[in-house]
Structure 1
Amino acid sequence: MTEAVASPSAASALGSPPPGRARLFENAAVNLRPVALVYRVAALAVILTGVIRLSEVLTGQPAWSTFLFYTMLSNLLCLAWMVALLFRTARDLRRTGARGASTPSARGSGAVMFAITVTMLIYLVVLVPTRFADGDSDIFSLTDTLIHVVTPVLMIVDWLLFVPKGAFRWMDPLLWTLLPYAYLGWAFAYGASGGEFTPGQKYPYPFMNIEALGIPGVAQWIVMLSLALIAVGFVYVVLDRILAALARRMPRR
């Protein structure tokens, strides 16, 4: 799906309104590719900064263990998706002009947004209180803030401003959970096979500590977090549909 199409419904799904017909606000997206391009270049730089700081790849002693954590993996996903958004925007700007929205997939943007929302909510709801209780004074450091808060906000804002609305389906929040669940399954298997996320620690996050919480305790945490995150996913779907409906009511000029 790389070419612009003629029908408005298909254009909504692909993210590129028909050339010559795009209004400033089309399908609840800001249809100014130069603005989207500048935003996405800046967002890419910020996301890359967070990844570099977390991995410490420029220090000469990279922290390779950070690549075992969902936080790093979700940030790398955002980095890759932002690169795709950037190239798509530049290509569409060159081929069809300044007016229009550009994304490889509106639903793909939703999936990436949800994946990094998981990172943000688990950090704010689970990790920050736990670290605060343990006396950790380094909460909301620059690196933590970049990877847990700033990157999620950048992806959410990109979807709100530059991605056409109306493509999400009611089943999407359930599909979006497949990536976090895949990570959970891998992390449990990795720890059970003797792998360590940090020296002496066979779990990446406190709510996955079977030795301390027991299987029922871990299962309870996973169920509660799943319900909360799926609820957030449905909020995204409802917002997507509301914005799409509002855009359809805007008079054409």
Structure 2
Amino acid sequence: MLAILAITGTGLEIAKYGIGMLMYYTVLSNLLVAVFAVYMVYAMNKGQNLQDQNFLRIKAGVTMSIMITCVVYHIMLAPLAEHFWRVENLLCHYIVPIYFLLDTLIVDRLRQYKWLDPVWWTSLPLAYMAFGLVNGFFLKIPIPDAKDSPFAYFFLNVPKYGWNYVLTYCAIIFVTYLLFGYVLAGVKSLKPQSFLAKSAPF
């Protein structure tokens, strides 16, 4: 189901608005989830272990990559959206990210992450930020329906807002992302027995 939803959301974005939609982090992160979910289906059919520690560490990185799509959109971009109630918009920004997060929280084994993992999980958003700036300054590939094109998002538009504005926004996003990465790692390190022990009357 997750694979179908991710493929549908990504496919609708590209089919409706063109291949240039791949310039958005939203579409790229949903494409990543689609590919990852398809691989999970393939691996399950082959009888592979989807609870392997290294696999779960990678999956957590994908989880964080798609959740930043949800959080940044909801807080910073949704209030500016002109076409909020589109199927592809809801799929890419809410349904797929929350679905994938719940899958990670509920299905994956506990105590599988290392404490430097949240740092490594920041690599994909940082790489996209660098790419977004390179495109804005040098490549100048047009981005569909982006008011700040060739910058995908307003908080990357250095010529319009200046470096202080952009770096401040990016720093806030980075620190929040890293913090929530450690929150995820902490939650997945808890022992269920500890909750039972605290709540037991005897």
TM (norm. structure 1) is 0.70
* 1:157 counterpart = 2:116: no
Higher helix share: 2
Corresponding residue of 1:46: 5
**2:10 touches 2:31 (CA, 8 Å); kept in 1?**
yes
* 1:174 counterpart = 2:174: no
Number of aligned positions between the proteins: 191
RMSD after superposition: 2.2
Inter-partner Cα distance in structure 2 for 1:106 and 1:151: 18
After TM superposition, give the deviation of residue 166 of structure 1 in Å.
0.9
C-alpha distance after superposition, 1:98-139 (max 9, x if no partner): xxx6246110110100000111111011111233xxxx2x22
Instruction: Find the partner of 2:175 among 227, 230, 234.
Output: 227
Corresponding residue of 2:18: 63
Inter-partner Cα distance in structure 1 for 2:112 and 2:106: 15
C-alpha distance after superposition, 1:169-196 (max 9, x if no partner): 2211111111110111111111111332
User: Judging changes above 3 Å, is the alpha-carbon distance between structure 1 residues 74 and 207 closer, same or farther for their aligned structure 2 residues?
Assistant: same
Deviates more, 1:157-166 or 1:224-233: 157-166
**1:78 touches 1:116 (CA, 8 Å); kept in 2?**
yes
Q: How is 1:5-20 mapped onto 2 (pairs within 5 angstroms)? A: none
Mark the structure with the bigger radius of gyration: 1
SS at match of 2:188: helix
After TM superposition, give the deviation of residue 162 of structure 1 in Å.
2.1
SS at match of 1:139: coil
**Amino acid in the other structure paired with 1:241:** S
Q: Which structure 1 segments of 5+ residues have no match?
A: 1-41, 94-100
Deviates more, 1:173-182 or 1:189-198: 189-198
Corresponding residue of 2:57: 107
**1:89 touches 1:102 (CA, 8 Å); kept in 2?**
yes
Inter-partner Cα distance in structure 2 for 1:221 and 1:77: 24
Inter-partner Cα distance in structure 2 for 1:248 and 1:216: 45
Inter-partner Cα distance in structure 1 for 2:121 and 2:93: 19
Q: Which structure 2 segments of 5+ residues have no match?
A: 197-202
Following TM superposition, where does structure 1 have runs of at least 4 consecutive aligned residues deviating by more than 6 angstroms? 247-250
SS at match of 1:241: coil
Corresponding residue of 2:200: none
**1:106 touches 1:165 (CA, 8 Å); kept in 2?**
no
Inter-partner Cα distance in structure 2 for 1:149 and 1:162: 19
